[in-house]
Chains A and B, each alone.
Chain A
Amino acid sequence: MKHLLGTDGLSREDAVLILDTAGQMAATQEREIRKLPTLRGRTVVNLFFEDSTRTRISFEAAAKRLSADVINFSAKGSSLSKGESLKDTALTLQAMGADAVVVRHWASGAAQRLAESGWLHGSVSVLNAGDGTHQHPTQALLDAFTMRRHLMGAAVGDDVTGKGLDGLTVALVGDILHSRVAGSNIALLRTLGANVVVVAPPTLLPYGLEERGEVAVHYTLDDALEAHDLDAIMMLRVQRERMTGGGSGFFPSPEEYTRLFGLDRARMDRLTDHAIILHPGPMNRGLEISAEAADSPRSVIVEQVSNGVAVRMAALYLLLSGEEASA
């Protein structure tokens, strides 16, 4: 692996390798001294054209625990907010000797463009930390890691090395159209053998998703709970700007959204006993998820955050350690 641009091009073999490596990384994080010397002397640049404190901090922690030098480059107060192009930024990073660039950008395809345009020469690896409404691969990998840990062993903490998510049924609920988290999750879940259920108002579904027949689609959460025994349910964040304001009007009101798609106590009680609840954060409590659901024992939302660090450590390690996995 040279770059990690999306989950759509990721083989099962590579995905499982990342998850297994993340398992090893997670184990090291329970030691007293958590820092590993693996990437000493390597430079990781966090290039954030969009605000995302959570994702940036997670990547920063991952790189630092591997002893890499970290440079943070973000939109506010830098040349990025003064209209410097992605290309010029790339040339600057190259000149500074970056070994890996972790990029978050508002434009779909920005990470791929950075990796493939020829702006960066040599051996710089590109990690996509979210590009527009396209992909956010490390989020999907950390979600898969979390689901595998909880659902693929006889008990949590059992060895799940080498496993995928075969046979699980996982629902994604919310704004599928604009969600890079959904984009990456749908591809990765299918690669790892899970059945994918998508729940959204028709206004927030990507063109042709139903016709493609790769996932089951429902227009209300109740229908989905009726039709499937879910092993995991992932509630997606509803962006405020997708609501009624500005004429975008993807749904009539937050109240109606909550009535049809919100995960509340009653709907949570209809889940199978072992089912877990995920959310990529940050949550809108009371909108897509009630406090009861978010704070329930089924919720693995806080654990997702710590697993995120382990998965990002694994990704950085595999891209930078020179270990030749299949491209």
Chain B
Amino acid sequence: MSAPIVITNVSLYGDTPSDLVLVDGQIASLDAADAPADARTIDGSGLVALPGLVDLHTHLREPGREDAETIETGSRSAARGGFTAVHAMANTTPTADTAGVVELVASRGREVGLVDVYPVGAVTVGLNGTQLSEMGAMANSRAQVRVFSDDGKCVHDPLLMRRALEYVKTFDGVVAQHAQEPRLTEGSQMHEGLVSAELGLAGWPAVAEESIIARDVLLAEHVGSRVHICHLSTAGSVEIVRWAKSRGIQVTAEAMPHHLLLTDESARGYDPRFKVNPPLRTQEDVDALRAGLEDGTIDIVATDHAPHPDEDKDCEWGAAAFGMIGLETALGIVQKTMVDTGRLTWRDVARILSETPASIGRDEAHGRPLAVGEPANVTLVDPADAWTVEPAATDSRSNNSPFGGIELPGRAVATFLRGTPTYVDDRFTALTEGASA
């Protein structure tokens, strides 16, 4: 257990200045005067305290692609980005479709100890889309899986999707759908639009996402289940989810930082760092996502952190892998696109990056209030510490960031998991010197 820590004069949720006293893994007090004598003190002036961030959509690559990322390097990158919990997607090798694999991932996460790693279970065996995996076994394993997804692939068979939505009710689970109609996206390389036509790259039309979302919200309504939509990327998808919510359908949706900031224009240089699935869309879509996040249609921001080694990105576009890393840039991009534009407050950021993702994933120890007696999962943000993204300067094992050279207005400067600092900025190194963390 880490030494007691006092953070003085920090702005909780960007509002009230307060102190935070972290003792024995809990928030012990909001008054520095209550701190134990041996507590280490840091000055929180100018900083915003948020409940530890929760990523509902992370690719940690282990087991199978440890050349791209490991649970250790991914956890380190997550902590640096302000996260205290991540949900590790199931498209590993072997696939996380059995209790054995999800327990392996969870236990490796515990050993590393930098973030709580919640394995996501595959909906279908081997992500093949033909047979349900043993979701009950994964739910009842020590990993206690609650989120199920074939992410990377769409559960496109409507009957199988219906069964999955029904079945996860057994253990209060949720199916997180990668909405991509496979026939409409065969060979697709980027958003289908004017830019793809000009570049001669096969298009990924918006309707391939929207048609699956429309189907799945109707299925969720029909069977009375909740459904979560991964990486919403189009204006039409926002409209469909808005309509579904107005009907009372239990749908939640996530947007990715890269879809809030970048457009298909980025593909013009054929640099595969901008190749991602679903693809970067148009400015109109970016604007719709921001509006959807502002009005609550989109519930959360998740990273879709997708590490790939150099050889899968330093090549021609058509040969390159889809995906980009994003754990360390997510918070800064949310601030840039949503907070500094006046669309969201820091209180809202706590909701979209911590409370709601924790609630969707049923992570009971995360997304809790910053209040006495609660787990000391805390992220300190310096909203005035502007920085320029350098892809090579990441804690991830891969450096396939599309944000190189972009200036972000702020970042996480310290992350605490149950009172233990898991990442601290240079200014706070006194916190970790001689500590057991």
Contact = CB atoms under 8 A, between A and B. Distances in A.
Q: Do A and B bind each other?
A: yes
B319 A108 contact: no
B63 interface: no
Contacts of B17: none
15 contacts: A8-B198, A86-B316, A106-B318, A107-B318, A108-B189, A109-B199, A112-B270, A113-B270, A132-B318, A134-B200, A180-B200, A206-B197, A207-B197, A207-B203, A208-B194
A135 B201 CA distance: 11
B365 interface: no
Contacts of A87: 314-315
B311 interface: yes
The 7 closest A-B pairs by CB, nearest first: A134-B200, A109-B270, A107-B318, A206-B197, A108-B200, A133-B200, A107-B316
Q: Tell me which of A107, A112, A117, A134 has the highest count of chain B C-beta atoms within 10 A of its own C-beta.
A: A107
A212 B195 CA distance: 12
Given A85-B315, A106-B318, A131 B197 contact: no
Interface of B: 183, 189, 192-194, 196-203, 269-271, 311, 314-319
Given A85-B319, A87-B314, A108 B197 contact: no
A150 interface: no
Q: Tell me which of A112, A113, A183, A212 has the highest count of chain B C-beta atoms within 10 A of its own C-beta.
A: A113
Contacts of B196: 207
Contacts of B316: 86, 105, 107, 109-110, 113
A117 to B, nearest CB: 7
Contacts of A132: 200-201, 318
Contacts of B270: 108-110, 112-113
Contacts of B200: 108-109, 131-135, 180, 183
A276 B256 CA distance: 53
Nearest to A119: B314
A326 B237 CA distance: 46
Contacts of A86: 315-316, 319
A255 interface: no
Contacts of B315: 85-87, 113
A27 interface: no
Contacts of A134: 199-201
Contacts of A113: 270-271, 315-317
B84 to A, nearest CB: 38
A59 B197 CA distance: 28
Interface string A166-195: 000000000000001001000000000000
A180 B86 CA distance: 44
A256 interface: no
B203 A108 contact: no
Nearest to A133: B200
Given A108-B200, A116-B269, A134-B200, A207 B194 contact: yes
Given A107-B319, A133-B202, A183-B200, 17 more contacts: A8-B198, A85-B315, A105-B316, A106-B318, A108-B189, A108-B200, A108-B201, A108-B318, A109-B317, A109-B318, A131-B200, A134-B199, A180-B200, A206-B197, A207-B193, A207-B194, A208-B194
Interface string A199-212: 00000001111001
Nearest to B187: A248
Interface of A: 8, 85-87, 105-110, 112-113, 116-117, 131-135, 180, 183, 206-209, 212, 247
A85 B198 CA distance: 25
Nearest to B269: A116
Nearest to A117: B314
A93 B201 CA distance: 27
Contacts of A116: 269
A209 B202 CA distance: 15
Nearest to B311: A85
Nearest to A187: B198
Contacts of B314: 87, 117
A89 to B, nearest CB: 11
A208 B199 contact: no
A8 B271 CA distance: 18
Given A109-B270, A112-B270, A113-B270, A209 B318 contact: no
A209 B197 contact: yes
Nearest to B319: A107
Nearest to A112: B270
A117 B316 CA distance: 9
A135 B200 CA distance: 8
A247 B192 CA distance: 20
Given A108-B199, A180-B200, A207 B318 contact: no
A322 to B, nearest CB: 27
A87 B311 CA distance: 9
Contact of B201 (A8, A109, A212): A109
A208 B197 contact: yes
Nearest to A206: B197
A43 B271 CA distance: 28
Q: Tell me which of A108, A131, A180, A212 has the highest count of chain B C-beta atoms within 10 A of its own C-beta.
A: A108
Nearest to A208: B194
A207 B317 CA distance: 20
A289 to B, nearest CB: 24
A74 B242 CA distance: 53
A247 B196 CA distance: 22
A212 B194 contact: yes
B162 to A, nearest CB: 25
A166 to B, nearest CB: 24
Contacts of A8: 198
Nearest to B203: A207
A115 to B, nearest CB: 10
A247 B203 CA distance: 17
A308 B192 CA distance: 33
Given A8-B198, A131-B200, A108 B193 contact: no
Given A107-B319, A117-B314, A207-B203, A112 B197 contact: no
Contacts of B199: 108-109, 134
Contacts of B192: 207
A280 B200 CA distance: 19
Nearest to B196: A207
Contacts of A212: 194
A274 B271 CA distance: 45
A154 B192 CA distance: 44
Nearest to B193: A207
A134 B316 CA distance: 13
Nearest to A180: B200
A105 B270 CA distance: 14
Nearest to A105: B316
